[in-house]
Amino acid sequence: MTETTLIKKILIANRGEIAVRVIRACRELGGIETVAVYSDADRESLHVRYADEAYRIGPPAPRDSYLNIDRLLEVAKLSGADAVHPGYGFLSEQAAFAEACEAEGLVFIGPTPDAMRQMGDKLAARAIMQKAGVPVIPGTQPGLSDDDLIRAADQIGYPLMVKAAAGGGGKGMRVVRDPAQLKAALAAAHREAEAAFGDGTIYLERLLENARHIEFQILADMHGNTIHLGERECSIQRRHQKLFEESPSPFMDDDLRERMGQAAINAARAVDYVNAGTVECLVTADRQFYFLEMNTRIQVEHPVTELVTGVDMVKEQIRIARGRRMGPEGGVTLKGWAVECRINAEDPYNNFMPSVGQITIHIAPTGPGIRLDSGIYAGYEVTPYYDSMLAKVIAWGETRGEALLRMRRALSEYQIMGLKTNLPFHQKLIDSTRFLAGRYDTHFVEDYMAMRDEGSSREQVEAAAILATLVEHLQRQNALQISSRPKRDASNWKWVGRWERIHR
């Protein structure tokens, strides 16, 4: 391996668990310092405390902080960073941010701006994939008016999807099952896409019923080498938001894996892709697959791939940015099974409404085969400004059965108090016989996972009251201990005020 670009300090243009994840990778690589950024709402977050340096970048609203390119570049210059890792979300797939970093002489740890633009525009990506021989879902071409889309809908066939060209994560997306619904769905999708992405362009795709959402992780170096690291099954979703992932997929066979893996490599090569990326597909019951989109960044669910391949995805991102030349295409094998639950601050018994507040108790699951990627702790304040994901519980086993049994144990151990979480949803999911048999698709949650609060018995109510009283008592005791603590801190914990670089 030859690494030609020297990276000594990385600014992490993100927050929460992914920022913590990047910091840990840098420490394990050795010799790479880390710079955290934070909004006013995140001053006491773990990523701020774990980094070598931390800088304030603005008020809580993302547009004034984590989406403020000028402020991020100013901090990079002030801190002496020579590279930027964007994480996922926020600016991670914004070609303008990657270009701005390069213009300032910073290494952007991700794909080129050109590749991001080509794959970020869903309509352009469809055309590129068709040219590369990658199957795409039947749909419309770019540049059509609403009247043209209405006429094209009959040729595509119902049911169909209205989708945002610049979108992702379910934004600007509508399901239409009847022609009478189409005009209103087009108008709503235009509005939502414009608000979310600043681009109201939309298109139509045939809706594949009872399909599975399966994606392939790829890595590509700047020397023309591209490999895939197997698949991830992401069909457990709610409103197009993933909740649970596993690798490998219980639906996959060797032939389908070979065909989809090669298609993912072809998709990456079609845009001269560099660094980590994911090619997402929909797969029908008869094992036909269709390109859905390409995520030009590290993904939330990357840990399951790490556990079954032994490849540290974040380290590889940094090594590729340094100039690493990867090995042969067939060098990665899958070992065992890994599953991941996204733990969100949401009330599953109240239509998954977001929950905010202070985490009063946080007892993390441990033990054989369990990994927790988290940015929270007891005393951490969950605010309404950002995504509701708190942590990811990942379990590995020699078989799918062992991985799921370990996950069941981990979920029973995990205790988060002070707000509502979707832990009960995941516990119900793991107990579903249909899910355990691997018989699920993207509609599984809507069809089989209705969450009903059965009510509380008198004994449960009394126990909850006693526990709430105990928690309040412990909080008061902790407050007294903190107020009487001597000024000298002998622990190895870095308190923010002692070392942060406040940039106003």
Catalytic residues: 297
In one-letter notation, the amino acid at residue 233 is: E
Q: What DSSP state is assigned to residue 335? A: -
Rounded-to-integer distance, Cα 159 and Cα 208, Å = 8
Rounded-to-integer distance, Cα 211 and Cα 290, Å = 10
The token pair at 206 is: 């045939």
Rounded-to-integer distance, Cα 394 and Cα 364, Å = 12
Rounded-to-integer distance, Cα 162 and Cα 206, Å = 9
Rounded-to-integer distance, Cα 114 and Cα 110, Å = 12
The token pair at 402 is: 């062992």
Distances (CA, A) of 411 to 19, 145, 185, 258: 24, 49, 39, 34
Q: Give the residue from 495, 477, 479 showing the smallest Cα distance to 487.
A: 495
Q: Give the residue from 91, 92, 128, 98 showing the smallest Cα distance to 113.
A: 98
The token pair at 460 is: 């449960």
Residue 415 has φ and ψ, to the nearest 5°, of: -125, 120
